[in-house]
Each structure stands twice: as structure tokens, then as C-alpha cells.
Amino acid sequence: MILTVTLNTALDITYRVGALRPHASHRVSDVTERPGGKGVNVARVLAALGHEATVAGFAGGATGQVLRERLAGVPGVTDALVPCAGATRRTIAVVDELTGDTTQLNEPGPQIEPAEWSAFLDRYEELLPSASAVALSGSLPPGVPVGAYAGLVRTARAVGVPVLLDTSGEPLRRGVAARPDIIKPNAEELAELTGSHEPSRATQDARRRGAHAVVASLGPQGLLAATPEGRWRAAPPARVHGNPTGAGDSAVAGLLSGLVERLSWPERLARAVALSAATVRAPAAGEFDAAAYEDLRARVAVAGVVSVA
């Protein structure tokens, strides 16, 4: 079982419109709802790849109830969410069908009380012995300590469970110091962490700060990885247009599944890039186009994974 932690879960709602215009009314051609939040997206992709995944975090209010009902219908995903009094947030993605661009609106998360945080920590420690790997993903809702991820990394490492951390800002800075096995920042998050806007230098610096391996997302340019075994860059064969929501989470699923399956780093990166690009092509947030994934995976593995000096 792979454990994914989403402290700030969400109900992802995707609207599709013919063309998005400011200050205008729009007729929505299609609406989809999915249980979301970064770690929930990771779990759904892991399950589609054939791995058992367990989702931990918080869910509350009417939105949280809908999220849990939808999550119950996802094969291979187990709900281990802790109830909270506050309402789970919604995220709204508006897809412009004319341009393929997406506009994202993210609500704030619920206030987490000390007793609720304590209940989550108990649940986390109960789940770890059965986990082959852990993903700690996304923002921290109000009330959760800023050093929360650092503590969760240390707890997992104490029982020998590898950890991937995917967050930003101060939670990332503190989390890196706890020595996670992998971090997956985007270029902006990596620059904020290290002060360097040159990705190759920044990934190396992030490793010196404590991360065992660093996989930086460079958007349409793919991934750049700095690991103890070497450094690689992986890129899709062509730029992919569509809804980018959840693309980074699919990359996390590719990296984690590859770790559990003991794939080489180039194989992990090829899978992660193909999944990310296939997610951009999917019509709804947090899903991936299976046919596109199979096509892209072979082409990334052949042409996209190269060593960098």
C-alpha cells in the first residue's frame, strides 16, 4: 500500500466553456466533479497504475461528505480521512475550449483544531507500518503547524518508509531539513527554496539542504532530477495543450510507483513525464488519458531522458 497525505483536500470542479471572456456571462458545456487535493490526485493515479493507495488527511462539512462519497467509488483507493468541523474547500477549473487554457480558482481550507491535528497524527502512525512509501502533498490548512511536514517526514523515516514531499514555501524549507527521500518542487518553488533561478544548480543546492533526491518540474520542458545515482532530464516529445490541473500530482504518482517497483531513475522519470503530459490531455482535473500515456511513455523513454552534465 502507498500512503498519500492530503491535509488540505478539495472537491475539484471543472467547467468547460466555448471561450472565456472577462465581464461576460458564459454557458457551461460540461461540468465534472472529482475528489481532489494533491495527494488525492496522486492516489487516484496510483490506483489506475495498479497500486493500492490509502488517502489520509481531513474532510469536513457538506463538501467533505461529497468528496468521501466520490472517493468511495474509486477502485483501489482506501479512505482514511479524519473528520474535521470546518468545511472542505472547492477548487474551480474553467477550461476555455477555444484556446485550451485553464483558469483556476482555489478556496481556502478549513481551520484545523488541535484535537483534530492530534487525531490525524494518531491515524498517520497507525497507517505507516503497512505503507511501502508515503507522499506528503499540497498546502497546509489553517491551524496545522508550519513544521508539520518536517515532523511527518521524520516519523516515516524512523520506521523505514521512504517519503516524497511535494509542497512549497516555509513548509518545504522545513521539510527538506528533515531529509525526505524525494522532493518535487516546480521551478518557482525550487528558486524560492534555494535562491537560484538556474534549475541545475538549484537542484544540487536543494540536495545539500537535506533532500536525498530532487525532481524539479519545469512545466512543458519536463523534469530535471538530481539524485545520488546521477542527474537526468526528461521531456515530452512535444508541447501538450490542455488542463494542467493535477499534472504535477501524476508525476508524483509516477515517481512513487517507480520507487516501489524499483525502477531505474530514467524509467521513473519517463513514466512521470508521460503521466503528467497525459493528465494535461485529459478533460477533467486529476485524471489522465490512458491511451496518451501509453503512447507518450515509449517516446519519452527513447527520446526524452538524457543525462545532464
List the catalytic residues: 249
In Å, how far are 57, 140, 141, 150 from 146, measured between CA atoms? Answer: 16, 7, 10, 9
* Whole-number Å distance between alpha carbons of 31 and 120: 32
CA distance linking residue 207 with residue 249, whole number of Å: 21
**202 alpha carbon, distance to own chain's centre:** 20
Q: How many CB atoms lie within 10 A of CB 202?
A: 24
DSSP 186: B
Alpha-helical (H) ranges within the chain are 38-48, 61-71, 114-127, 148-158, 169-177, 187-194, 199-208, 247-260, 265-281, 290-299
Q: Of 11, 22, 89, 3, which is closest to residue 285 (Cα–Cα)?
A: 11
**Separation between Cα atoms, residue 27 and residue 230, nearest integer Å:** 50
Sign of CA dihedral 171, 139, 47, 234: negative
